[in-house]
Amino acid sequence: NAGVTQTPKFRVLKTGQSMTLLCAQDMNHEYMYWYRQDPGMGLRLIHYSVGEGTTAKGEVPDGYNVSRLKKQNFLLGLESAAPSQTSVYFCASEQGANQPQHFGDGTRLSIL
Amino acid sequence: SQQGEEDPQALSIQEGENATMNCSYKTSINNLQWYRQNSGRGLVHLILIRSNEREKHSGRLRVTLDTSKKSSSLLITASRAADTASYFCATDRIDSNYQLIWGAGTKLIIKP
């Protein structure tokens, strides 16, 4: 049972480039989340989804887009990367409201 | 905005000693969760305590919740080197609409 898998694990981009981060979960969870983690700060929610075909904005959505075309996958896109988006990105899934979240091991993204 | 704030920011103790971390929050909650993060890895759920519970145990972990003081504590008894990690609290606000609000974490180092 793989749980939550994030790809890629590491990536370096130049300012202005675009990329997509993939999150896949095999637990049939309804809810999925994208967070960013920066030094000295707690996780900040970028976007989330409460079911296939639905997405919503979190605390820091600007500069990011998401899609949930299949229940098991949640994609995070950066259309035009900026140095301020250098961070570690975590995906999480959750069976339902008020349940524990299950995390992937993160994508370490550097924007030069 | 940060709902949860952990205290202390860092804690270094000898193996075998007990470790206590605290979390304070600002608004009414449905539940509070504690997670552990080992270096370079994703977060792992430890305990969820609901607003109508005062104490919960899981192995060497003990969590208390005082809703009147809007605070929680995580006690790790008989610490081991493997407990070295960062510990985060997350609150599920009544008005949060699926979003967890995370503290900045306590970095725990267990010295052999």
Q: What is the pLDDT of residue A40?
A: 80
Residue bearing the bigger pLDDT, A41 or A36: A36
> Quick check: helix, strand or coil at residue B39?
coil
From CA B23, how far away is CA B84, in angstroms rounded? 18
Sole residue written with tokens 């270094």: B12
Q: For residue range A19-30, what is the model confidence (pLDDT) as tens digits? A: 999 999 999 999
| Beta-bridge partner residues of A71 | none
CB-CB contact of A104 with A23 (8 Å): yes
One-letter amino acid for residue B55 of the chain? E
Does the pLDDT at position B2 exceed 50? no
Does the pLDDT at position A10 exceed 80? yes
Contact A43/B at CB under 8 A: yes
Q: What is the pLDDT of residue B28?
A: 87
**In chain A, which ranges are continuous DSSP H helix?**
none
Closest C-alpha among A22, A35, A8, A18 to residue A75 = A22
Confidence bin at B1 (pLDDT 50/70/90): very low
Contact B21/A at CB under 8 A: no
From CA A107, how far away is CA A109, in angstroms rounded? 6
What residues of chain B, 61 to 90, have a C-beta less than 8 Å from chain A?
88, 90
- Comparing A81-95, B55-69, B91-105, the range with the smallest average pLDDT is B91-105
